[in-house]
Amino acid sequence: MFATPYPKKPMFRIAFTPLTERQIGDKLSQVASTGPKSVSPVSDVLAGRSLRIVTDKGPVLNYSFRGANRLSLTEGAGRAVQAGYGAHTLDAGAILFFAHLIPGTLRGYAVAIDQETDLATVFELWFGGVEKARREVMREVYHGYVARAGKEAPAARHVPTNRIEGKGFYWKQDTGAETLEFYPSISYTHFVELSRQGGELGYSAPADYIKINDDIYIYTRTESEFSGTFTIYVMDLNRIEQVGLRLGFDVDDKLDYYVFRGHGEWLGQIAQFEKFGDTSGGPPPPRPGSTGQKSAPQPGTKGARGVYRPLETMPKMTKAEVDAAVAKSKRVFQRRVGAGSGAAGMATNGAPPSGWLSGKQMTLRYDNGPAIDYRFDTADTLRWRNAGGGGGGAWTEARYQAWESAPGVFIFGHLLEGTPNHDGHMIVADFDHGLVTCFNGYLNTPYFANEAGARTWFGVIEMEGITAPEFRRHKRTDELLGRALTWNYAPGLTSMHLYSTPNTVSWIIFTEAGAGGLEWSGSGDFVKIRDDLYFAYWMEEACNGTLGTILINMRTMHDAGIGYHCGPEGLSMSQVGAHSRHAGRFDIAKYFQPRTEGRPA
């Protein structure tokens, strides 16, 4: 079932085929009558039974099950249709899950029923609802019950909830597919494909979280902005078991349509930040026209919810356009007064800059990069030149700012005027140990010229009074792996980072109620400077193109950072600074070791 892995590139870089409704319908017609595949034997608990499911704001579904994989469905007063289905049970049969398509349409249903309470949640599924991505599976959620003759309708319902917000699990389906799945939000999920993609990067997608009871919950994930594939499962938190459905098209446009069973491991629980007693769930309604939701449907539209589609609102510039924009405007550590000056408010809680470097001279020599001479003339003006073999080149003046994050450790940054890709250097220098690490930001990257790229250089400080070490260097680290850190940049502007793989940073934007909301993620790097002091970057790829760099002090729970961004308004380098809270850590290190070193069977 998984013979063809995804290409060795991030999912947000894959040019998924914009399938037409006819192409989708042709593929669905081949399986709608037979039903979904299943590696595990499907349940026959429904064979010979009839169910009438009444939903509050949706259809009435009359089912007649003619075996373990054939059903007849009447929607309301419509005509009966015959279809194949697949069913699995959970919690010793108390929870029933089944799914099917409707022949001759692009639609189907997935249904979860608590047989002890007769409460039901119905997911109507369909293709074609997103104009630019008709392959994306849409869903509408209906809550209701199974009607019984002579029995009053129950008043209770399954409900959206935040009760599993902050949890994380390792899951292995009976298909062999392995994932790490995190629930850091009430409306989004973050997942790492261990078996399909090797676990190099994590990705974020809209989700539903619905409570059946204190032990059993429903989860959905729609891989919006990627393949559009839809995954739903019912999970038992105590037994760590799941039953569910996967529906969608892979990178080769092959249809995935199967029900599955799975088991897993608990990875941990990070903090929630809603008020005590608030157990409300999501998702939030769409906000048409807002950042990342430019073409969002109006609230109340069938299937509508807040979905972050950042590529829609990202300016996509050519090299010529980037060169012209940079020539027009460069803003380096200036007050944020408008477009092109950096993300407003991202340094309200930043530390004041330091003047310690003023009057000093040094060479920063990188093992895998250049050697650069520096003269720091004032607290915010420096001169630099390529040291080369013997130095002596022309000096270039640049504006900079520096912050001392820990005694003897400074982060500073500047643009390199005249470089073909408009480079920016974000540098952490440890003067106590003579070590330096640089995140070299640059433009004119392969996908969009204004999207920043980054290189990591390790090196030493050559300066009067410092003996540069010959072998010792700062090193990449996995000590942040699995951690979640909140960042409060200014009143009302708070996000949370989740470091889900050795190469991933995901950022979650909080709602006004303190719940996790919309989420995106990109590639990153993590360097240990000292104990509890880490230099990290993340790239807002297929988003807005920003390169964010921060020096994280886990003892003060404060960062000092620098953002590097290019848009039509020009190039900016700006301060980033926030107060932090340690929200917790998922125990995931073993999943990034070779399979012989601890991957669960």
The per-residue pLDDT for 338 is 45
Q: How far is CA 118 from CA 213, 238, 451, 518, in A?
A: 13, 22, 52, 33
Contact 501, 199 (CB under 8 A): yes
The DSSP annotation for 537-576 comes to EEE-TTTT--EEEEEEETTTTEEEEEEEEEETTEEEEEEE
| Distance linking the first and last C-alpha atoms of the chain | 19
pLDDT band at 4 (very low <50, low <70, confident <90, very high): very low
Residue whose C-alpha is closest to residue 500's, from 218, 268, 190, 196: 190
Give residues with Cβ within 8 angstroms of 141, minimum separation 6.
Answer: 121, 122, 123, 208, 210
pLDDT of residue 12 exceeding 50? yes
Instruction: In whole angstroms, give the CA distance from residue 49 to residue 259.
Output: 20
Q: How does strand 570-576 pair with strand 330-332?
A: parallel
Instruction: In whole angstroms, give the CA distance from residue 188 to residue 265.
Output: 21
The per-residue pLDDT for 286 is 85
At 596 the three-state DSSP class reads helix
Mean pLDDT for 202-221 is 98
User: Which stretches within 135-212 are classed as H helix?
Assistant: 194-197
pLDDT of residue 82 exceeding 90? yes
pLDDT of residue 361 exceeding 60? yes
Does this chain's domain 350-473 share its CATH topology with 476-589?
Answer: yes
pLDDT of residue 390 exceeding 60? no
Give residues with Cβ within 8 angstroms of 601, minimum separation 6.
Answer: none
The per-residue pLDDT for 290 is 76
pLDDT of residue 191 exceeding 70? yes
Average pLDDT of the chain, as a whole number: 94
Architecture of domain 476-589: Beta Barrel (2.40)
Instruction: In whole angstroms, give the CA distance from residue 222 to residue 475.
Output: 37
Contact 146, 60 (CB under 8 A): no
Q: Phi, psi (5° rounding) for residue 486?
A: -85, 150
Contact 173, 193 (CB under 8 A): no
AA identity, residue 347: A
pLDDT of residue 157 exceeding 90? yes
pLDDT of residue 393 exceeding 90? no
Q: How does strand 167-173 pair with strand 159-160?
A: unpaired
pLDDT of residue 1 exceeding 60? no
Contact 459, 472 (CB under 8 A): no
Q: Where are the domains of the chain?
A: 11-282, 350-473, 476-589
The per-residue pLDDT for 165 is 98
Q: How far is CA 201 from CA 56, 230, 378, 506, in A?
A: 40, 19, 41, 10
Helix (H) or strand (E) holding 292: none
The per-residue pLDDT for 196 is 87
The per-residue pLDDT for 296 is 76
pLDDT tens string 217-236: 999 999 999 999 999 999 99
The per-residue pLDDT for 298 is 81
- 250-254: long-range contacts, CB 8 A cutoff, minimum separation 24: 250/4, 250/6, 251/4, 251/6, 251/7, 251/14, 251/16, 251/227, 252/4, 253/17, 253/19, 253/23, 253/27, 254/4
Q: Phi, psi (5° rounding) for residue 565?
A: -150, 140
Domain 350-473 carries which CATH code?
2.40.128.20
pLDDT tens string 278-336: 999 999 888 887 777 877 778 888 999 999 999 988 999 999 999 999 999 999 998 65
The per-residue pLDDT for 595 is 54
Instruction: In whole angstroms, give the CA distance from residue 448 to residue 94.
Output: 52
The DSSP annotation for 9-58 comes to S-GGG-------HHHHHHHHHTTTTT--B-SSPPP-TTTT-EEEEEESSS
Q: 63-67, 126-130, 318-322, 397-401 — which is least confidently predicted?
A: 126-130
The per-residue pLDDT for 337 is 46
Helix (H) or strand (E) holding 321: helix 319-328
AA identity, residue 370: P
pLDDT band at 7 (very low <50, low <70, confident <90, very high): low
pLDDT above 90: percentage of residues in the chain: 88
Give residues with Cβ within 8 angstroms of 79, minimum separation 6.
Answer: none
Instruction: In whole angstroms, give the CA distance from residue 542 to residue 308.
Output: 11
Give residues with Cβ within 8 angstroms of 403, minimum separation 6.
Answer: 350, 351, 352, 353, 354, 410, 411, 412, 551, 560, 577
pLDDT tens string 505-541: 999 999 999 999 999 999 999 999 999 999 999 999 9
Going edge to edge, which strands form the sheet with 453-462? Answer: 396-399, 381-386, 371-376, 361-366, 453-462, 435-442, 424-430, 409-415, 401-406
Residue whose C-alpha is closest to residue 17's, from 205, 197, 226, 191: 226
Residue whose C-alpha is closest to residue 245's, from 131, 162, 170, 139: 139
Residue whose C-alpha is closest to residue 225's, from 20, 3, 10: 10
Strands (E), 195-304: 202-211, 216-222, 230-236, 241-249, 255-269
Cα–Cα–Cα angle for 452, 455, 460, nearest 5°?
140
Q: 113-117, 444-448, 472-476, 489-493 — which is least confidently predicted?
A: 489-493
**Which residues on neighbouring strands pair with residue 221, listed in sequence order?**
207, 231
pLDDT of residue 107 exceeding 90? yes
Give residues with Cβ within 8 angstroms of 323, minimum separation 6.
Answer: none
Instruction: In whole angstroms, give the CA distance from residue 306 to residue 444.
Output: 32
Instruction: In whole angstroms, give the CA distance from residue 272 to residue 452.
Output: 32
pLDDT tens string 15-55: 999 999 999 999 999 999 999 999 999 999 999 999 999 99
> Would you state the torsion angle of the CA atoms of residues 98, 104, 106, 107, taken in this order, to the nearest 10 degrees?
-30
pLDDT of residue 189 exceeding 90? yes
The per-residue pLDDT for 389 is 56
pLDDT tens string 546-586: 999 999 999 999 999 999 999 999 999 999 999 999 999 99
